[in-house]
Structure 1
Amino acid sequence: MTRLVYLSPVPWASFAQRPHKFAEWFHLRTGGNVLWIDPYPTRLPKPIDFKRRNAPMSGKSTNLDAWIEVIKPRAVPIEPIPILSSVNRFMWAAIFSEVKRFVEGNDALIAAGKPSLLANLLVSEYPNIPSLYDAMDEFPAFYSGLSKAVMRRREKNLAGKCTHMWVSSTRLQTHWSKLRSDLNFVPNGLEPTLYSTINKVRNAESRKIFGYIGTIAQWFDWEWVIKLANARPNDLVRVIGPVFAPPPRLLPNNIELLPPCAHEEAISAMAKFDVGIIPFQNNNLTASVDPIKFYEYRAMSLPVISTDFGEMSLREESQGTFISRSLTDIEHLAHDALLHQDAPEFVQSFIKENGWPQRFDSANLLKNAHL
């Protein structure tokens, strides 16, 4: 297999996430090339979209390696309206020509990390080429009205027509196993090379840092964060990332809000944390989430306090992981987390077991692609 067409849920020029690591893994294992197709609007626009469009994007360099090409589809945000969505098909003629050039005469794979009309059309266009749908989220939960109904239908169609399917969380596995008995459970992971050489030094200062790094959006639990800050008035709660859901009220003085940063800077920032926090609300948006920051925190030997949501709900017995099930348990969990110490051999073992190469290899996709 020498060619991968990848329809991504995130832009190439964003923080390296599961899609980027999948593309890199494919190239590493096969030596093949990747045609990466950036996402385009798949729902009717909302006011927040304009704020996101203006948000700074700190991520991968746009200087591309020779093995990857990136396409940015042009599209009018009318995909949920069947009659009007045909407009986008005409705009994608060049993309179809590019894909044809890329796969013709080669052993190829078409993979999608998000349902879309373009993904469905490309998979249908090449029925003899192996295809993969990697379900990373409960995508319809992020939509409403007509957009939600169309996304649900389109996702089911894509999941049914792809020759292979992966899911990233237990809830997604339960949901999609009703449609497909042959799916693979491929949890999220981490990049081993980023963490193997990091030596986390415990903070000797009396003031401890409870830290979060990531997007602050509608699923972020500000009430929980405020409660933590009030429970630990002599410590610091540091929140780093773009803010799309502002605090509901004035924050305590010991909550520090910092802007987003590049991934290398994020690792340096995490190294200063004493405890990593994952304060997400428990709702339909987070029910299927396996947060990558869990793996990143633990790879740095940080104890983790997480709210009770998604895959984190199943990690109460995981070493160094503390699950908060209400606002009343935060104080004692913070105390216990600060007392936690990992065994010396834990970190290297955790990194090895949860690295992206190990995750993707375990699904045997390249071996079974033509079966």
Structure 2
Amino acid sequence: MSSTHIRIDQKSSPNARRSLIYFSSVPYDSYAQRPHFMVEAFTLNGFTSILWVDPYPTRFPEIADFRRLFQKKKKPSTKRPLKNVEVLQPMAFPIEPLPMSAAINHALVWRPIREKIQDFADHSEHCVIGVGRPSKLAEWALENVPHARSFIDVLDNFPAFYTGVSRISMRERLQSLSKKADDVYCSSSALSAEMKKLRGDAVTVLNGYLSSALPAAQGAQAKPRCIGYVGSIAKWFDWPLVISLANALPDTIIRLIGPEFVPRPSDLPPNIELIGKISQSEVTHYIQDFAVGLIPFLIDDLTAAVDPIKYYEYRCFGIPVWSTNFGEMEYRDIDDGVIHISMDSDWKTLWDQNIVRQLSNDELASFRKEISWSRRFEPIIARSLLQTGRSLSLPPNSRVLPAEK
């Protein structure tokens, strides 16, 4: 059993003035998401060397995991290359919820990883450790690897994705890491409110969008347009709501774009079109035909702390948004281009009166600039350039950080 695989995209200089060790929540070889754009922001702001650590299993295996072992892995059709990034892909026995799991993995498979991380930090004048998903390996790094500053980016309600002992373990890991890190960032207001119970200095850093170099948004069109959705169709997707919408507007196309992870209902109306997973360039083509952007998520523990990136995607093209009242969408209203929907919605009236105020060209340009990933991550970059004054981070009760604005 190989303990690790190290792939070097573009190896940086042996001695880096500023570097980042980032424990990602998603693999490097996945579609560009918040972790990729965050790391890119670091590379554009003086960090000349990045060590990206892919996630490993932090819960007990499930039946679906064994099925995936026999499925042919597909590489993403597009990948956003990042400069000066080394990628570590640690192996681990899937026993992290157990009390002695860290000791077992450290003894049997993590020694090469530890040595690589230590060596990387030793060759940096200003090393920052970032954690995108709690794990025992990330916790070891915070406790043992010399660094100038550290942060955890809480981008999901991590425990809600797990069950049983795995959920308890993830909750404990999240709490432990949040106490050890210098800075705590949260991707939604709900996550921030929850984390402030533990860390009063937790800062909200909402999601954004790759809004640079987008084509100009098209104005109102004479031809009939569809109601569209872009994203995964998974267990948080409210199929009954979408079916209700389609039945109420039988002459309007409901176009759903994205991979499917749950079975389709057997009684789909004929005006629901399922496009499947497509490339980002194709998404841009399709989305300009939307009269309304749909976000039909269930309201539960999984979505209570979500700031959906698709909201920014729709609004970057000036498209009005129909969304259920979950997560960060709860704080958005018609002034933000949002109408809240539910099973009680009068779909025909909403469709006939689809008059959410359109953004002017200047307003659209301003919105795109404000929600760009680079703008979103400015607070994280700025604080990461600070020093704690010691080679290892001080415990939270030894620091005084400015209150969140």
Q: Does 1:294 align with 2:295?
A: no
What is the Cα-based RMSD across aligned positions, in Å? 2.1
Deviation at 1:271, TM superposition (A): 2.0
Gaps of 5+ in 2: 1-16, 390-405
Q: Which amino acid aligns with 1:183?
A: A
The one of 75, 92, 110 aligned to 2:129: 110
Task: Check the 8 A contact 1:134/1:167 in 2, yes or no.
Answer: yes
Between 1:250-259 and 1:77-86, the stretch displaced more is 77-86
Which consecutive unaligned segments of at least 5 residues does structure 1 have? Answer: none
* Deviation at residue 343 of structure 1 after TM alignment: 2.4
Pick one of 319, 341, 345 that aligns with 1:328: 345
1:126 to 1:31, Cα distance in 2 relative to 1, 3 A: closer
Q: Which residue of 1 aligns with 2:393?
A: none
Check 1:203–1:247 CA distance in 2 against 1; reply closer, same or farther (3 A cut). farther
2-side partners of 1:59 and 1:321: how far apart?
32
Report what 1:76 is aligned to. Answer: 93
1:200 aligns with 2:218: yes
**Matched residue type, 1:284:** D
Distance (whole Å) between structure 2 residues aligned to residue 353 and residue 65 of structure 1:
23
1:263 positional shift: 2.1
SS across alignment from 1:284: coil
Distance 1:43 1:194, change over 3 A: farther
Mapped partners of 2:347, 2:90: distance in 1: 45
Contact 1:112 1:132 in 2 (8 A): yes
Residues 1:2 and 2:21 are matched in the alignment: no
Deviation at 1:264, TM superposition (A): 2.3
User: Aligned in 2, Cα 1:349/1:66: closer, same or farther, shift over 3 Å?
Assistant: closer
2:175 alignment partner in structure 1: 156
Report SS of the residue matched to 2:361.
coil
Q: Compared with structure 1, are the counterparts of its residues 20 and 342 closer, same or farther at alpha carbon in structure 2 (3 Å cutoff)?
A: same
Tell me the CA shift for residue 76 of structure 1: 2.3
The verdict on how the C-alpha distance between 1:237 and 1:181 changes in structure 2, with shifts beyond 3 A counting, is: same
What's the CA shift for 1:248? 3.1
Shift in Å, 1:255: 0.7
The CA deviation string for residues 212-242 of structure 1, in whole angstroms up to 9 with x for no partner, is: 1111111111111111111211111111111
CA distance in 1, matches of 2:57, 2:76: 20
The 8 Å contact of residues 169 and 289 in structure 1, kept in 2 or not, is answered as yes
Matched, 1:36 2:52: yes
Indicate whether 1:358 and 2:375 are aligned. Answer: yes
Residues 1:339 and 1:125: Cα distance change in structure 2 (over 3 Å): closer
Q: Deviations over 1:275-323 (max 9, x none)?
A: 1111110000000000011011100111111111000011024332111
CA distance in 1, matches of 2:374, 2:83: 21
Q: Which residue of 1 aligns with 2:250?
A: 233
Q: CA 1:163–1:60 in structure 2 vs 1: closer, same or farther (change >3 Å)? A: farther
C-alpha distance 74-60 of structure 1, shift in aligned 2 (>3 A):
farther
**Structure 2 Cα separation of the partners of residues 368 and 333 of structure 1:** 50
Q: Matched residue of 1:275: which SS?
A: strand
Q: Which residue of 2 aligns with 1:16?
A: 32
Q: Report the counterpart of residue 230 of structure 2 in structure 1.
A: 213
1:348 maps to what in 2?
365
Shift of 1:339: 6.0
Amino acid at match of 1:299: C
Residues 91 and 200 of structure 1: is their aligned pair in 2 closer, same or farther, counting only changes over 3 Å?
A: farther
Partner residue of 1:277?
Answer: 294
Change (3 A) 1:111 1:339: closer
Question: Which residue does the alignment assign to 1:96?
Answer: 114
- Whole-angstrom CA distance in 2 between matches of 1:59 and 1:155: 33
Does the CA-based 8 Å contact 1:168-1:188 persist in structure 2? yes
Q: Offset at 1:39?
A: 1.2
1:84 CA drift (Å): 4.2
- Cross-structure match for 2:262: 245
Q: Secondary structure of 2:87's partner?
A: strand
Q: Does 1:368 align with 2:368?
A: no
Q: Give yes or no for contact 2:150–2:384 (8 Å, CA) kept in 1.
A: no
Query: Which residue, out of 234, 241, 252, partners 1:224?
Result: 241
More moved, 114-123 vs 314-323: 314-323
TM-score scaled by length of structure 1? 0.92
Residue in structure 1 matching 2:63, options 47, 50, 70: 47
1:252-280 Cα distance to aligned partner (Å, 9 max, x none):
11111122122222222222222111111
Q: How far apart are the structure 2 equivalents of 1:193 and 1:96?
A: 38
Q: TM-score, normalised by structure 2?
A: 0.85
Residue 143 of structure 1 is matched in structure 2 by 162
After alignment, is 49-58 or 229-238 more displaced?
49-58
Distance in 2, Cα, partners of 1:33 & 1:46: 36
Q: Which amino acid aligns with 1:270?
A: I
- Partner Cα separation in structure 1 for residue 27 and residue 149 of structure 2: 23
Shift of 1:147: 0.3
1:59 Cα offset (Å): 5.2
Between 1:242-251 and 1:289-298, the stretch displaced more is 242-251
